[in-house]
């Protein structure tokens, strides 16, 4: 009787593939540390039998027990759960180095890496506006493009073009994750096709690290910043009455989103505070910040 080969990960259902990936990462981390399964059981408080099932991809371990395993392996829990591409030793060493740095040093390291490996020599010819919904990115972007004589691009429209679907259909059929994939592809194509443009992005583009890094590397980026009250007022002025239902909760949600994204938006090359300013005045400030205009 011949033994059948186990299915490859890409042929498994997503849950089985994820569990096998977790098991493989636990086994690899244990090997790197030169630990036997008995050693790991002793230091993690998880039985050898449970660990054997886990490493075989057959154990649906609780997050609490997996945290104990990660602690015994001196490995971040996130590394064991990461089901993205396998990380090289250099990647892990670099991550470990960054973990030892302070916030200012990490920011400096990011800038150095960006300048060396990410930034395009043509980036200053492309301007990207980022910020929450209601920041005025589309309105200001059109004004800036008209005064600069550049093309204005709404990234959401490029996403629709790439997907061949409207935004509502993208979210219905592919969800948030699907939209982010299309957004990344749309941005990649845009950067390849256009040397000069003014780009209005969606507020959530910063939530996908790869896409956001592509944006920072390929465009001179400006954060249009405003306080939550200004954002809410502009959304309502645009005709969207949904925030008025349960206004207090909507405002709390908006404030929380802004708090969570502020540090990411702050990675932009420049910040323009739009609170209390008319679109024309904001456009003038944006133009003064854009190196392509100063160099003209």
- Name the binding residues for ATP: 134-139, 242
Q: Report yes or no: 142 and 152 within 8 Å, Cβ to Cβ.
A: yes
DSSP structure string for 137-159: HHHHHHHHHHHHT--EEEHHHHH
User: From the annotation, which residues make up the binding site?
Assistant: 134-139, 180, 203, 242, 261
Strand ranges of the sheet holding 152-154, from the earlier edge strand across to the other edge: 152-154, 197-200, 126-130, 220-225, 270-273
Q: What is the spatial distance between Cα 5 and Cα 285, in angstroms, rounded to a whole number?
A: 64
CA distance 282 to 202: 18
Torsion sign across C-alpha atoms 220, 212, 223, 195 = positive
Q: What is the DSSP string of 207-252?
A: GSHHHHHHHHHHSEEEEEE--HHHHHHHHHHTT--GGGTTHHHHHH
**Numbered residues of the known binding site for substrate:** 180, 203, 261
Question: What is the DSSP annotation of 50-112?
Answer: HHHHHHTT-----HHHHHHHHHHTT--HHHHH--SSPPPHHHHHHHHHHHTS-HHHHHHHHHH
d(CA 237, CA 196) in angstroms, rounded, equals 31
Where is the binding site for Mg(2+), in residues? 138
d(CA 226, CA 217): 24
d(CA 1, CA 105): 61
């Amino acid at each position: 009787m011949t033994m059948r080969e186990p299915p490859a990960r890409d042929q498994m259902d997503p849950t089985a593939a994820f569990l096998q990936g977790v098991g493989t990462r636990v086994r690899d981390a244990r090997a790197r540390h030169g630990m036997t399964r008995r050693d790991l059981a002793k230091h993690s408080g998880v039985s050898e039998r449970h660990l054997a099932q886990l490493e075989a991809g057959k154990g649906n371990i609780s997050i609490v027990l997996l945290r104990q395993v990660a602690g015994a392996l001196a490995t971040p829990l996130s590394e064991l759960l990461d089901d993205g591409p396998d990380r090289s030793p250099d990647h892990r060493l670099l991550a470990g180095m960054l973990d030892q740095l302070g916030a200012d040093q990490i920011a400096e390291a990011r800038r150095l890496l960006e300048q060396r490996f990410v930034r395009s020599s043509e980036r200053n010819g492309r301007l990207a506006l980022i910020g929450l919904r209601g920041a005025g990115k589309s309105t200001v972007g059109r004004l800036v493009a008209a005064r600069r004589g550049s093309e204005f691009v709404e990234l959401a429209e490029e996403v629709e073009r790439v997907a061949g679907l409207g935004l509502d259909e993208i979210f219905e059929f592919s969800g948030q994750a699907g939209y982010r994939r299309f957004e990344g592809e749309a941005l990649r194509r845009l950067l390849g096709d256009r040397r000069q443009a003014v780009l209005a992005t969606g507020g959530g583009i910063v939530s996908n690290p790869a896409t956001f890094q592509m944006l920072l590397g390929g465009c001179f980026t400006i954060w249009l910043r405003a306080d939550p009250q200004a954002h809410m007022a502009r959304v309502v002025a645009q005709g969207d009455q949904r925030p008025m239902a349960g206004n207090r909760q909507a405002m709390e949600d908006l404030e929380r989103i802004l708090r969570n994204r502020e540090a990411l938006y702050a990675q932009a090359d420049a910040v323009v505070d739009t609170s209390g300013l008319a679109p024309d005045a904001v456009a003038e400030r944006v133009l003064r910040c854009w190196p392509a205009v100063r160099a003209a």
